[in-house]
Amino acid sequence: MLLIPAIDLKDGQCVRLRQGRMEDDTVFSNNPVEVAGRWVDAGGRRLHLVDLNGAFAGEPVNGDAIRNIAKAYPDMPIQVGGGIRDEATIEAYLKAGVTYCIIGTQAVKEPDFVARACKAFPGHVIVGLDAKEGMVAINGWAEVTDQEVTELARRFEDAGVSAIVYTDIGRDGMMTGPNVEATTALANAISIPVVASGGITNIGDIEALCKADTTNITAAITGRAIYEGTLDFAEGQKLADSLSQ
């Protein structure tokens, strides 16, 4: 299982939110490129970047910071989410050196857009499904829909999606542990690889995800834990590697 460090961008700074609330943020750095280098040096094999302002605006806002990171680390696979609502944005990010674009809100509002994007940019599209008590949330988590996560995920089975990033909003940034049960249930319900997100706090959470009753959780995103020091990123990846052998 791949451990992916998260860099959440708000107003050009690296922050972490609690349960997705923009007003409940902690600023960790005003130098995103430097933060990216920290995780590259720690052995990260992919970076997860989120344009938080973009998620609310519906278009890229922290694009400069994302492009600067991609330029500084051209050999590092990067996945980006937040405000990606059209093919032009995907194309621009890929040209800037981003590897994967995560479609969230637009995937919920217009599932056919995902299929078109996968056809136009094969191998570069990930769908992000964020859930509160099993129901999908959109627009920077500000709106909870009546769509159930697993049901929606199944709609993308034949689209060519590289992965589903599944985030439990109630756990995100709260340091309460990931929702292993719900993540496992989703992973077993679809053939698309699932990336776990939200709530990872310590090395025990990595072990729990690796030992989950599924082979389809292929990666996990971690944010607040590696910034606050409750999880050593390098040790977490080392454990994940050992348990995956």
For residues 49 and 6, what is the distance between their CA atoms, to the nearest angstrom? 6
CB atoms < 10 A from the CB of 133, how many?
A: 11
179, 186 in Cβ contact below 8 A?
Answer: no
Count of positions (residues) in the chain: 245
163, 218 in Cβ contact below 8 A?
Answer: yes
- Which residues belong to the active site? 8, 130
CA torsion 127-128-134-137 (nearest 10°) is -120
DSSP code, position 39? H
CA distances to 31, 150, 176, 192, 244 from 15, in Å: 11, 29, 18, 29, 31
For residues 192 and 146, what is the distance between their CA atoms, to the nearest angstrom? 22
Which candidate, 164, 171, 241, 177, places its Cα nearest to that of 204? Answer: 177
